[in-house]
Amino acid sequence: EVQLVESGGGLVQPGGSLRLSCAASGFIFSNYWMSWVRQAPGKGLEWVAKINQRASEEYYVDAVKGRLTISRDNAKNFLYLQLNSLRADDTAVYYCATEASFRFDFWGQGSLVTVSS
Amino acid sequence: QSALTQPPSASGSPGQSVAISCTGTSSDVGGSIYVSWYQQYPGKAPKLLIYEVNKRPSGVPDRFSGSKSGNTASLTVSGLQADDEADYYCASYAGSNNAAVFGGGTKLTVL
């Protein structure tokens, strides 16, 4: 059974940093592109970033370029999202998901990041 | 990378069919086969319903179908059931930067 479990969310002050983790199991993690998708409270889904199987390619939505960094550890089956210079509008549930041809097959349960003073 | 346009709400009675639209541009929806649809219940993660415009993953009922015409994709839910009441999102290749873009979401109410 495919499982994706996010962790690392919490309350952080504006300008602060946080690292989200996503533990993958039940599939060959190193074979998949992986993405982060976020959802602000009461709002829609927003694709944030993606990384290829070997971590040699990264892509980001314009709104987060330079502040968020996606990475992965295939030996440990973990996906990460480093969030820096956080702003109030980064407040959201962050989901990790497998991606193939711009479709998101499997999703984690999400991790809430709240940016507030 | 502007969000795709979906109606905020849709509704239908049990047994009826309802279609939800997703409008983009010739750069994203209109120019790509990579259109997908997701169902999301409150407080839960999204679930893939349709990919590549009209393909269903294993386990998704054939009551859910997808289509596309020009810059607009559509999800049709036939034989509405009470548990179809949820939020529905479309997604597409954004047309550049290997990026994806989602629609704003449609809340489906079963009357």
| Tens digit of each residue's pLDDT (9 = 90 or more) over B12-68 | 999 999 999 999 999 999 999 999 999 999 999 999 999 999 999 999 999 999 999
Is B45 exposed, middle or buried (CB count within 10 Å of its CB: 0-12, 13-18, 19+)? buried
Average pLDDT taken over every residue of chain A: 97
| Chain A residue with the nearest C-alpha to that of B93 | A102
Mean local confidence (pLDDT), A62-66: 92
What pLDDT is attached to residue B1?
67
Say whether A57 and B57 touch across the interface (CB within 8 A).
no
Distance from CA of A66 to the nearest CA of B (A): 15
**CA A44 to each of CA A9, A29, A41, A47, A58: distance values in angstroms, whole numbers, following the listed order:** 19, 27, 8, 10, 23
State the pLDDT confidence band at A7, using cuts at 50, 70 and 90: very high
| Chain B residue with the nearest C-alpha to that of A98 | B48
**Nearest by CB: B51 against A62, A103, A107:** A103
